[in-house]
Chain A
Amino acid sequence: MPGSPSRLTDDLKHGLDAPICLTWELTYGCNLACVHCLSSSGRRDPDELRTDELLRVVDELHDLQVFYVNIGGGEPTIRPDFYDVVDYAVSRGVGVKFSTNGSTITPEKAQRLAATDYLDVQISIDGALAATNDAVRGDGSYATARRAMDHLAEAGFGPFKISVVVTRHNVAELDAFEALAAHYGAQLRLTRLRPSGRGADTWAELHPTAGQQVELYRWLVDRPGVLTGDSFFHLSALGEPLPGLNLCGAGRVVCLIDPVGDVYACPFVLHPEFRAGSVRDPGGFAHVWRGSELFRSLREPTSAGACASCGAYDACQGGCMASKFFTGLPLDGPDPECVRGFGEAALAAVAAGSAPVPGPVHSSPVRLVRKPAG
């Protein structure tokens, strides 16, 4: 290709004029209380953006030529103005992909979604079996998600996405997820569990083991068609790189707008340290993206720090910033799930209780009361 011989990832590290991948969470309200929820969602925050403010954000994204947004929450579809916002975004050329637990996707809503262009739907499940899923997402949530998938298929929506957070308990079900997606003509999307939100409390028992990470890596290498949101780039240190951008995009190519309009470097770092500003500030979102001190510092060259002497650093780039931050690890050291094992050693050195606590918490904390097994 004509042009500079530099790598694409080097270009992207300096940041873009507007994000490529923007996650927009519309509400902290949710009828579920998943034990790994990255935004600790439950109840709506009274200060969430009003409809007119949401539409103004869409206008801004249009002006910035943000091609599409990933809408989530919380459960975004519980907002009464959800479909108004989606329709307005699509009408302004901002494509929408939204994540849902499926609970509001009735046959009528599925028909409506199927009739809308530039719209992708992503149904979340965290187990191919009801028991595996419901242990994380709550009783009955698997059946609810499957019903939504049935409705979308019956409405002729086309290839919707089935979105799975990979955990220690569902790695064994990867083939079953693939079969489920094939059954619906859907696309499978796997993403990485982060110790964010309520995940901070459950990460230690839910994140895949070292052996499972190797298994997952091999499974993904054999299936380049499985979507990952480029979230497993730390696994690229195991061999050939996985498809996608192998770098942390926080503040460079991705960011998050939360339900009250706060802008964070990525969806997994809801913490004051990574808050860049608010869409309610003068200058709006564009000013935050281009002018925030935090984002500018994230676009500076980073030091490999403790990873400098590791031959795999070029492949894994030191891993995920959010995973390091919420496990109490320094940002210029190994990822807690470093495939060379340096993360485990680093975690052992973190003093108990010293890891940052996710927040501000906008919903009252909700804990699943799990029935004893048996």
Chain B
Amino acid sequence: MIDPARPYGLDPQVALRREPFGALAYHYGNRRLTFLRSPDLVRVVQDLGRHDSVDEALAGSGVAPARWPAFRAALDSLAESEVIRAR
């Protein structure tokens, strides 16, 4: 599980490619392709590295607090796929 109070960032082996539905994330190490199916989520993922915690990144990206649990869950699965990782 990710700790929303800690800082995270894009895994250095991951490349993001914007697409109409959101973005594709490709991990050059494990060769896995992950679909980010929301432009809001893509913005949060790109901003993670600039914030001191996940929650700060959510606030900074203007995501309404009611949607935070869904975003934390999405980030959780992105951490599991090694798209993002703790800094």
Chain A residues in contact with chain B, CB under 8 A?
A: 1-4, 8, 11, 14, 16-18, 20, 65, 67-68, 93, 95, 118, 120
Contact = CB atoms under 8 A, between A and B. Distances in A.
B71 A67 contact: no
Contacts, number: 57
The interface residues of chain B, by DSSP majority, are classed as mixed
B24 to A, nearest CB: 7
Contact of A3 (B18, B31, B41): B41
Interface in B14-39: 15, 17-22, 24, 26, 28, 31, 33, 35, 37-39
Given A1-B70, A1-B74, A120-B31, A17 B37 contact: no
Contact of A2 (B17, B31, B67): B67
B18 A17 contact: yes
B19 A67 contact: no
B37 A4 contact: yes
Contact of B15 (A14, A67, A120): A67
A1 B24 contact: no
B40 interface: yes
A105 B41 CA distance: 44
The interface residues of chain A, by DSSP majority, are classed as loop
B37 A1 contact: yes
Interface residues of B, number: 24
A93 B27 CA distance: 11
Nearest to A18: B17
Given A4-B38, A11-B37, A16 B70 contact: no
A114 B38 CA distance: 38
Nearest to B70: A2
Interface in B40-55: 40-41
Contacts of B17: 17-18, 65, 67
Contacts of A3: 21-22, 37-41
Nearest to A97: B31
Contacts of A14: 20
A1 B41 contact: yes
Given A1-B37, A1-B41, A17 B20 contact: yes
Contacts of A1: 37-38, 41, 70, 73-74, 77
B35 A8 contact: yes
A118 B13 CA distance: 11
Contacts of A68: 26, 31
